[in-house]
Structure formats: C-alpha cells, structure tokens
Amino acid sequence: MSASMDLFDKCRSYQDAKALINTGLYPFFRPIEASTGNTVVTHGTKRVMIGSNNYLGLTHHPKVKEAAKRAIDEYGTGCTGSRFLNGNLTSHEKLEKSLAEFVGKEAALVFATGFLANQGSLSCLIGKNDAIFSDRENHASIIEGTRLAMGETVRYPHNDIDALDKMLTDKRSNYDGVLIVADGVFSMSGEIVDLPGLVKVASKHNCKLYIDDAHSLGVLGDSGRGTGSHFGLTDEIDLIMGTFSKSFASIGGYIAGDADTIHYIKHKARPFMFSAAMPPAAVATVQACLDVVVEEPKIFESLWKNARHMKQEFTRLGFNTLHSQTPIIPVVIGDDMKTFMFTKALYEHGVFATPVVKPAVPDGFALIRTSYMATHTEDDLDYVLSVFEKLGKKYGLI
C-alpha cells in the first residue's frame, strides 16, 4: 500500500453525480422556494408535490403552525444540549407520555431524528451473543443500527414469513436473544408488513419483535396509531419505533415499549445521549399533530380516498405499481436513465416527483416513488394522472 495516497483522491475521482448533472437529468436537491404542502414553487414555477411524506398535510395546519410559534416564544429556538444534560424540556416529557398512550405502550423516548432512534435503540440492545433478523427492504437507518450492534445481523427475504421461520429454525439456538426487525410500511413499495406472520414466528422461536412505523404513524390504524393498531396486534409488538418527519409534520423520532426497556435505552443509546435534543418548536408541532389526528378524523377519509383513487387510476392506465397498499404508490419505469428522463419530464409539466434507482432498488426496477396527501385536491390528482398518461404513452410504458 502506498504511503503517499491522498485520502481525498476518492472524492476527486467521484464522477457519478457530476456525469448526471452534465446530462441535465440530475433530479436531486431541487430548491423549494415556497410551499402549501400539496404544491410547491421551484425554479419560479408552481408544481403539484407528489414526492413528499407529508401524508396528512399537517405542515400547514393552522393549529400546528400556531403551536410551533408559541413554543419558540416560551422556550426559544433550541435546547443547545442533549436531553441527558441541559436539554430536557417539560414538553419533551409531556410528548413522551402522550406518544406512549397514543401508540399503546407503557413508555416512550423521543430522539432528535428518526434515524437516530433506530440507530441508537438497535445498537444498544444487541449484545455480542445476540442477533437481529432484519427484512431485506428495511430502511437505511435500521441497517446502520445493525452495523453498530455488537451481535450478528441476518437478513431475511422481504416479507417472506416462511423463509424467516426456516432461518430461525436453523439458527435460533446459536444466539442468546433475537430481535426481529421490520418496517410497518416499506418506504419504496408502499407494502404493509405481514405483521400477523411475524408475531407467530416471533412467538414460536422466542424472539422479540421491533416494528419501524415511520410510514405507518398517521397512516395506518385507528387515528393513525400505526401497524399494530391496523392489525389489532399492538400488544404483540415489543418495540415500536417511528418518526415525526412524515405525517407528524416535524423532525425527530421515538421508540416505545415497556418502561424498563425504554429506561435502558435512555441510559445506553449513545446517539440519544450525545445528540442535541429536539428543538421546542418541533416538539410542540408533534404534540399538536397528536391532537389534530384525534379531533379531525375526516383527515384520514381524505387521505385514503386520494390514495385509493390514485392506485386505481394508475392500474387502469396500465402502470406497474408493485404491491402498494398505502398512500405510497411506486410507478415502475425500469431503466435508470429512462427514470431520470421521466422525472425531468414530469417536472417540466409541473409535477414534483422523486426517482428511485439502484442500489435502492434492484437493477431494472427503477421507479418513480409517488405519495399522496389528505390535502391533495381533485384537480391536483386529475392533473397528475393526465401528465402520467401523456408521458407513459410517450415513453412506451402504457
């Protein structure tokens, strides 16, 4: 190995993004100048937003915005330290109590981001003689948490309960404790996890069960309480994780479970202990969202009406939307470059959508990830469908 190697050589030689920029097809980091939630202004033009996780449209709800403003007046703009030391607010503790009650668990702990909630919880729970069995389509934050964990990680085929059962039959005796980890709603496909199957397998093999409700909170179950509520199996899930950066219009994340486990994570998860606390306005936003989803149940009627309509119409037009069962509706394009071209064409026609290419999806399965909000209007959705129909024909997809 050469002693004269420059650490930053790899940075100078990295040309992938620059090559895409030079083609004029680069679809990332588009600056948003203004937003109403379901529409945004970018490059001076108003576009329908179907690339967001703002499922309930609460980022612009009057009660939510007012709560955030009041919190700044009361606490200022930031906590300037970790919860562990100087950044623990009474509003953090109130939110944790509210969240635990909302998702049906004994206790909850809020983190500065959802990514940190997964990374911190998983890494501190798994000892050297333990293992995580993780769905192959789990979010990157779960993957990073498993990398930091001391024990082994075994990835099982996506949502394949029979395969997981067989793997545990073969390997369970190798470990002290085992944690099965899966997304409640898978973020690329919009597919719901087979929770009843996971519960049976976890019980059969004496495993604990951890569900990431990032895309389920505010979407599935009674008043958006999540995957466990959707299936009536909340008590069978040992740990429920979620994030506030989607339906709950803020930033941050949480882990919820029995009081002893949450107390342990609170004192052992380094990403929690050594990160600054959620800022006051973010905490107040989530608290207000919890109130809104209970007080305004019609918001869920609007969300699911829009989601079902778009799924039905994309299918009628002939697009491949995989196995979506939620407001996340992927539109499979296939080739990576064709997907970038399709995304640019959507943008030029006033539709803001996001492409997903390898390695996030398998080679040949590049897609446009679309997602829908309770606040999308009929005109918004009709316009999106008309653009997709026009471009789908142009690109030979339908």
Active site positions, annotated: 187, 215, 246
What are the structure tokens assigned to 40, written together? 């945004």
Residue 310: CA atoms inside 13 Å, Cβ hemisphere, count? 34
Angle subtended by helix axes 114-125 and 140-148, to nearest 10: 30
Identify whether the C-beta of residue 55 lies closer than 8 Å to the C-beta of residue 300.
no
Reference 350, options 384, 385, 373; nearest CA is: 384
> Nearest-CA neighbor of 324 among 372, 366, 390?
372
CB 164 within 8 A of CB 133: yes
Sheet holding 32-35, edge to edge: 32-35, 39-42, 45-49, 351-352
Nearest to 320 by CA among 332, 308, 309: 332
CA distance 198 to 180: 8
Residue spans of alpha helices (H) in 104-139: 114-125
8 A C-beta contact, residue 353 and residue 369: yes
Q: Which of 380, 113, 360, 367 is nearest to 253 (CA)?
A: 113
Task: Tell which residue, 228, 202, 226, has the closest CA to residue 216.
Answer: 226
Q: Name residues whose C-beta falls within 8 Å of residue 104's C-beta, 6 or more positions apart in sequence.
A: 225, 228, 229, 234, 235
**Complete DSSP assignment for 221-277:** SGGG--HHHHHT-GGG-SEEEEESSSTTSSS-EEEEE-HHHHHHHHHH-HHHHTSBP
The number of angstroms, rounded, from the C-alpha of 63 to the middle of its chain's C-alpha atoms is 24
SS3 55: coil
